[in-house]
Amino acid sequence: MTGFQVGGVAVNPPVLLAPMEDVSNMAFRRITKRIAAPGLMFTEFVSAMAVHYNPERSLRKMRIHPEERPLAIQIFGGEPETMAESARHAEAMGADILDINMGCWVPKVCRTGAGAALLKDPETAERIVRACVEAVSIPVTVKVRAGWDYSLFAAPDLVRRFQGAGAQMITLHARFARQGFEGEADWSLIRELRKAVTVPLIGNGDVKSPEDALRMRDETGCDGVMVGRAAISNPWALQRIVAGVQGRGIPAEPSLGERVETALEHARLMVLAESETEDMDEARSRPDFAQIELRSLRALRGQLPIYIKGFPGASEIRERLSRVSSLAELAEILDSLTARA
């Protein structure tokens, strides 16, 4: 599979790391970029309302490290004006692409007319895309689901409108909003949508291996594949997908040592990002360092066990990982695992 252009941004390899709330932060993206080097990564979604009312806190989610480019900042909201305002912030923060979320189905988002609720309101959805396109000079892209309910495959009409409004790439998570994550993604929806899309079309949903990625391309004619859950605490899964898509040999599974080192580096990068420095000595000199460490590790607790899943002793340290509160403690817990191997 060859890469493609989104405006002036080259996406090569055509493998994209999905936006994932509470996962796709800067530390996760840096780890993923170093190991898998996907062609494009996304931030977790950022609320346009939150940016409007509390820019200082929300704009932290838009921070970009040079090593993670090209990067798309994803925003969500139900009003054209505040979305345009957030789009301008994203551009000012250095985003290469602005992505609009129209896939999130959770009630707290949809109640405000944002996320997947826009699949039921094509006029507002189109006005949001147009407002963002007019607000910034970087490419604007949209991530959609197939529609709200099975009864209506809304995406073809919507993406025609979005392309007319200037959207330069479309990603389809091949499920309906009502489904949440239930059932299998229906890739035939991507093939159907292909007929309506003239800009690059990205297929998304249940890609876990190089074989999945190539099969999705063959079955749907998509220009790229987006991977979410399979890449959580597992950049090597994405690395294999990238290699497969590029027609290279598939790298071997990482050793336990590599996994442990990566988990530690992930945690270290979380702490550095929270401390807003690249220098661990400087971070440690902060009076609130212990709280920063605790906050960072708490945010990672759900992801740490996945790094070592399946290795002998992994289930015994699970409980300790769910309470870990410092980098030193994390190193000690993980050492106890490698010592057994």
Ligand X SMILES: Cc1cc2nc3c(=O)[nH]c(=O)nc-3n(C[C@H](O)[C@H](O)[C@H](O)COP(=O)(O)O)c2cc1C
Q: Which of 104, 110, 132, 222 is catalytic?
A: 104
Minimum distance from residue 44 beta carbon to ligand X (Å): 5
Minimum distance from residue 22 beta carbon to ligand X (Å): 6
Contact between 114 and ligand X per CB under 6 A:
no
User: Distance between CA 233 and CA 31 in Å, rounded?
Assistant: 9
Tokens 């709280």 — which residue?
291
Give me the half-sphere count of Cα atoms (radius 13 Å) on the Cβ side of residue 10: 4
Site for ligand X in 207-246 (CB under 6 A): 207, 227-230
Minimum distance from residue 241 beta carbon to ligand X (Å): 10
Contact between 186 and ligand X per CB under 6 A:
no
Q: Which residues lie below 8 Å from residue 179, measured CB to CB, with a gap of 6+?
A: 105
Structure tokens of 239? 């690395």
- Residue 247: burial class (beta carbons within 10 Å; 0-12, 13-18, 19+): exposed
| Cβ pair 235, 31 in contact under 8 A | yes
Contact between 21 and ligand X per CB under 6 A:
yes
Catalytic residue list contains 104 = yes
Site for ligand X in 125-184 (CB under 6 A): 143, 173
Per-residue CA distances from 261 to 29, 127, 152 (Å): 16, 47, 47
Per-residue CA distances from 181 to 17, 28, 103, 176, 217 (Å): 18, 22, 11, 9, 21
- Between residues 80 and 203, which has the closer beta carbon with respect to ligand X? 203
Contact between 101 and ligand X per CB under 6 A:
yes
Minimum distance from residue 181 beta carbon to ligand X (Å): 7
Site for ligand X in 55-94 (CB under 6 A): 74
Structure tokens of 225? 């594949």
Contact between 15 and ligand X per CB under 6 A:
no
Number of residues located near ligand X, criterion CB under 6 A: 21
Contact residues for ligand X, defined by CB under 6 A: 18-21, 23, 44-45, 74, 101, 103-104, 143, 173, 204-207, 227-230
Q: Which residues are catalytic?
A: 104
